[in-house]
């Protein structure tokens, strides 16, 4: 088998096919997504891994990861250079290192597992390959700080029938189905090149097809039968100021953003008073608890309509040395702080610096240099219902949202700061990850971003209203508080862990088998 494949592909051809697969994979994602590509993008990589040697396969898997990551995240090196004031070479070097440790090693592990899968019956290989890929994805989320960026399942955000299985299996359930189809197509191609019987490969394709049809049937069922929560909706509004990040922590700009956000809020309130107004992460560039005059200014705008405000800003912790929290405040119409959530999952390098010895990369934040992780706090009791807050990258992960819902959240609020990068290739994929949280938890999400997109997302993952990118904007709409807990909120990544168990079992079974002609070098 492998011998004929190796004769068909020279090293140059292998390299070209792997690079094409990586680029196709990258094109599945925003800002100009082609979700249909996801169903074929991996197949070329799998064909090459089937026919090449162990060492070359690992190298090609690593190269695929780096090229794929750059296709999706070419903003990363630029962001590092600009954010830390370093030469482009430093930014690109850090990008390669981060890509290697947060994804490359994991997909190299997949390449090794996929070779073992090739020792097992052909019909079972597509589903086993899908389980192995999900295992690699789970490792991405658990190792080296977690990397959810461009998991294959997120390529289907917006394809509503496919998305709905997330309320049981999360993003990994979607990924499993997509990879199974890719692996089945790869098996058909390999069978054609080997001129063997197509029956086992067609059986594998049938099993992948059954998995796809089952997910689509479930999605259609949920789209048809998911009923809105009882009770009237609540009118809410979002202010998106799109102010430059550079002014936020300089002493001369302290508090300057407030006037802009108050003006946008006044416009919202005069158009039809919402019960809740939401400002993004870092909207308040001052310490709210220490500024009664600023609180009075906020009250002067909110009080006539009786609207509440949820807004992001820093908070200080008492103690011998100053410590800072990235916080979200619930502010009453009279300007009093009714509740606060402190961000718990901080972003490396941006909110804390993990490598003290490389101080030349440490960015000066003015008074606030680094944040301290918050502790678990009660939900915000807003006019729209009990709200679970996810600040920025906390919305990229499933567990923080599930935790808030298990605590009793009736809706989720995601505050984000997208101004520091101001690139659609960052903002749109980040938005899609948050969007899937709505399906996983079957909750409305109010997303307020500094630069967009800000949006209201319903429990089916539909965007009912959203702002434009990189512009000042205001949006409003209705959300409905919901109760109940989904299967995924209860069991988390049980499906993904089941894939791990299947992959380990397949590896052990394959060790007992021999594959005549399998490439070993």
pLDDT at 91: 87
Residue 100: Cβ-neighbour burial (10 angstroms; 0-12, 13-18, 19+):
middle
Comparing CA positions, the residue from 420, 472, 451 lying closest to residue 246 is 420
On whether the CB atoms of residues 483 and 229 are closer than 8 A, the answer is yes
pLDDT above 60: residue 246: no
Q: What is the pLDDT of residue 145?
A: 82
Taking the C-alpha atoms of residue 424 and residue 451, their distance in angstroms, rounded to an integer, is 10
Same domain, yes or no: 240 and 221? no
Pair (217, 253) in one structural domain: no
What pLDDT score was predicted for residue 517? Answer: 43
Q: Residue 387: helix, strand or coil by DSSP?
A: strand
User: What is the CATH classification number for the domain harbouring 246?
Assistant: 3.60.110.10
Residue 44: Cβ-neighbour burial (10 angstroms; 0-12, 13-18, 19+): buried
Name the H helices within 143-255: 160-163, 166-194, 199-225
pTM of the full predicted structure? 0.93
Q: Is 213 found in the same domain as 105?
A: yes
pLDDT bracket for residue 356 (50, 70, 90):
low
Q: Which stretches of 195-256 are DSSP H helices? A: 199-225
The average pLDDT across 258-287 equals 94
Q: Are residues 147 and 256 in the same domain?
A: no
The pLDDT value given to residue 192? 81
The tokens for 59 are: 């190298």
Q: What pLDDT does 319 receive?
A: 79
> What average pLDDT does this structure show over 253-273?
90
HSE-CB at 243 with a 13 A cutoff on CA atoms is 23
Note the pLDDT tens digit of each residue in 85-116: 778 888 899 899 999 999 999 999 999 999 99
Is residue 329 domain-shared with residue 440, that is, in the same domain? yes
Secondary structure letter of residue 217 according to DSSP: H
Q: What is the mean pLDDT of the chain?
A: 90
**Where on the phi/psi map is residue 42: left (φ > 0), alpha (ψ -120 to 50), or beta?**
alpha
Are residues 263 and 407 part of one domain?
yes
Give the range of the structural domain holding residue 296, as residue numbers without chain letter.
234-479
Domain count of the fold of the chain:
2
pLDDT band at 407 (very low <50, low <70, confident <90, very high): very high
More confident of the two residues 347 and 126: 126
Would residue 218 count as lying in a domain?
yes
41 and 143 inside one domain: yes
**Would residue 517 count as lying in a domain?**
no
By the 10 Å C-beta count (0-12 exposed, 13-18 middle, 19+ buried), 520 is classed as exposed
What is the per-residue pLDDT for 41? 98
- Percent of the chain clearing pLDDT 90 (strictly above): 76
Where are the extended beta strands (E) located within 332-376? Answer: 337-342
- Same domain for 56 and 156? yes
d(CA 152, CA 29): 9
- 246 and 221 within one domain: no
Q: What percent of the chain has pLDDT over 70?
A: 90
């Amino acid at each position: 088998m492998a011998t004929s494949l190796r004769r068909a592909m020279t090293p140059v051809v292998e390299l070209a096919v792997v690079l094409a697969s990586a680029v196709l994979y990258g094109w599945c994602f925003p800002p100009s997504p082609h979700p249909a590509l996801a169903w074929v993008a991996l197949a070329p990589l799998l064909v090459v891994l089937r026919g090449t040697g162990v060492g070359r396969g690992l190298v090609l898997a690593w190269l695929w990861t780096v090229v794929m990551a750059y296709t999706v995240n070419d903003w990363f090196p630029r962001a590092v250079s600009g954010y830390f004031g370093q030469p482009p070479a430093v930014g690109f070097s850090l990008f390669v290192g981060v890509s290697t440790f947060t994804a490359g090693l994991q997909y190299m592990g997949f390449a090794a597992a996929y070779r073992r899968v090739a020792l097992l019956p052909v019909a079972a290989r597509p589903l086993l390959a899908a389980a192995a890929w999900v295992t690699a994805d789970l490792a991405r989320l658990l190792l080296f700080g977690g990397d959810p960026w461009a998991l294959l399942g997120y390529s289907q955000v917006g394809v509503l029938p496919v998305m709905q299985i997330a309320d049981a299996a999360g993003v990994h359930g979607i990924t499993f189905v997509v990879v199974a189809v890719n692996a089945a197509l790869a098996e058909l191609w390999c069978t054609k090149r080997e001129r063997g019987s197509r029956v086992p490969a067609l059986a594998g394709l049938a099993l992948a097809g059954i998995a796809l049809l089952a997910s689509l049937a479930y999605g259609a069922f949920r789209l048809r039968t998911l009923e809105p929560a009882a009770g009237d909706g609540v009118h809410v509004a979002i202010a998106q100021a799109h102010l430059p990040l550079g002014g936020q922590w300089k002493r001369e700009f302290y508090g300057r953003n407030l006037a802009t956000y108050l003006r946008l809020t006044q416009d919202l309130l005069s158009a039809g008073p919402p019960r809740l107004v939401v400002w993004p992460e870092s909207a308040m560039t001052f310490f709210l608890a220490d500024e009664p005059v600023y609180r009075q200014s906020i009250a002067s705008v909110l009080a006539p309509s009786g609207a509440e405000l949820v807004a992001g800003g820093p908070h200080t912790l008492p103690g011998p040395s100053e410590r800072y929290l990235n916080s979200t405040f619930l502010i009453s119409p009279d300007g009093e702080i009714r509740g606060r959530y402190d961000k718990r999952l901080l972003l490396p390098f941006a909110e804390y610096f993990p490598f003290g010895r490389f101080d030349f990369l440490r960015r000066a934040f003015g008074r606030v240099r680094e944040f301290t992780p918050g502790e678990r706090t009660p939900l915000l009791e807003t006019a729209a219902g009990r709200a679970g807050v996810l600040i920025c990258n906390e919305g990229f992960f499933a567990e923080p949202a599930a935790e808030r819902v298990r605590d009793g959240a009736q809706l989720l609020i995601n505050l984000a700061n997208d101004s520091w990068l101001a690139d659609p290739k960052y903002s749109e994929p980040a938005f899609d990850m948050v969007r899937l949280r709505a399906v996983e938890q079957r909750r409305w999400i109010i997303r307020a971003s500094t630069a967009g997109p800000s949006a209201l997302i319903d429990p089916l993952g539909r965007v009912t209203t959203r702002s434009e990118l990189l512009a000042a904007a205001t949006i409003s709409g209705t959300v409905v508080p919901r109760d109940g807990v989904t299967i995924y909120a209860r069991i988390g990544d049980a499906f993904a862990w089941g894939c791990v168990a299947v992959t380990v079992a397949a590896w052990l079974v394959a060790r007992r088998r021999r594959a005549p002609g399998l490439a070993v070098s």
